[in-house]
């Protein structure tokens, strides 16, 4: 008995054929032979016709062999949909739904969307879990479809049988738009802050920013003295010895003083202060210097260690 199945697609035909050949080669260990007949393109579609030409001497029944045969097809097609068609789907969604963005902006949005879909991201990333979930969804739908059908047109299957999967691609595009707009607003905000800094006369030559063990920020002048609130015109909320507990207040204080130099005392692997320091670097540019070790840093590190031991 011969079992046949045909797969049609407009794109990625050679890739599909190559990956299926690799999968079916593993069946040959059991003597199962799969033959291929490729039809000429018709209406933009190319069909690959696969037949189980020989069931071999395996311990599987013919029904089980046909089931394995279709499972291999489902695995390959689901993999190609996620790794190749998915990118085209995302690009089309962005182009059709967000046409009012410039082409170069659409490219940036597309790259952000790919990250949300975990293309090329770290397998430990949370997005990878969603990637595996989509792969499982697509494969399950394919197995269900192949159980009762001997012909598959991939583009049609995606459009009509994978609407919930497509919704996830739309969601990734929406998230990418949100991220893009937030980043754009942030850059415009940084430009405005840089302008404020450039037009002001420095009120102090040097301001040192120290990360306290408590997580608070502390501002010191060039002589290692606490900066008093007279320079801050109400921006500084004093808590203890001129410590600032909020990153936005820290940035506001630095912009108000507009120092000629900003010295940052912090550990490069201290994630808690990375956002603030990135903003300071963006606003003050060449004025920023990172301390590579001093008495202030040593004292702060000792205080941090004492605090951790008490906890």
> Quick one: pLDDT band at residue 236, thresholds 50, 70, 90?
very low
Class of domain 201-310: alpha beta
Q: What does the DSSP 8-state code read for residue 202?
A: P
Helices (H), the chain: 13-25, 62-80, 86-97, 103-116, 126-148, 154-161, 163-199, 247-257, 274-284, 295-310
pLDDT by residue (tens digit) across 170-209? 999 999 999 999 999 999 999 999 999 999 999 999 999 9
- Please state, for a pLDDT cut of 90, what percent of the chain lies above it: 58
Tokens of 112: 């952000």
Higher pLDDT, 1 or 55: 55
Locate the domains of the chain by residue range. Answer: 4-190, 201-310
The pLDDT of residue 303 is above 80:
no
The pLDDT of residue 240 is above 60:
no
Taking the C-alpha atoms of residue 171 and residue 155, their distance in angstroms, rounded to an integer, is: 20
Give the model's pLDDT for residue 85: 96
Give yes or no for a contact between 129 and 98, defined as CB atoms under 8 angstroms apart: no
């Amino acid at each position: 008995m011969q079992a046949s199945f045909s797969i049609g697609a407009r794109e990625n035909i050679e890739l599909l054929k190559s990956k299926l050949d690799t999968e079916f080669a593993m069946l040959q260990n059991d003597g199962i032979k799969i033959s291929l007949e490729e039809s000429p393109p018709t209406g933009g579609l190319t069909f690959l016709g696969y037949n189980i030409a020989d069931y071999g001497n395996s311990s599987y029944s013919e029904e089980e062999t046909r089931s394995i045969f279709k499972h291999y097809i489902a695995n390959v097609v689901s993999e190609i949909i996620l790794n190749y068609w998915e990118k085209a789907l995302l690009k089309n969604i962005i182009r059709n739904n967000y046409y009012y963005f410039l082409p170069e902006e659409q490219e940036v949005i597309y790259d952000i969307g790919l990250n949300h879909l975990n293309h090329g991201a770290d397998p430990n990333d949370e997005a990878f879990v969603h990637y595996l979930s989509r792969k499982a969804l697509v494969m399950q739908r394919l197995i269900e479809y192949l159980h009762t059908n001997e012909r598959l047109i991939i583009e049609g299957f995606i459009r009509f049988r994978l609407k919930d999967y497509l919704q996830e691609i739309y969601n990734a595009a929406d998230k990418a738009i949100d991220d893009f707009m937030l980043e754009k607003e942030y850059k415009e905000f940084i430009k405005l802050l840089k302008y404020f800094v450039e037009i002001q006369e420095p009120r102090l030559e040097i301001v040192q920013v120290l990360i306290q063990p408590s997580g608070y920020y502390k501002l010191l002048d060039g002589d290692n003295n606490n900066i008093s609130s007279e320079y801050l015109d109400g921006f500084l909320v004093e808590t203890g010895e001129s410590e600032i507990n909020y990153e936005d207040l820290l940035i506001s204080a630095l912009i108000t003083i507009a120092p000629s130099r900003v010295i940052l005392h912090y550990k490069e692997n201290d994630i808690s202060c990375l956002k603030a320091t990135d903003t300071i670097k963006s606003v003050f540019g060449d004025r920023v210097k990172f301390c590579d070790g001093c008495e202030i840093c040593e004292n702060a590190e000792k205080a941090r260690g004492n605090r951790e031991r008490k906890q």
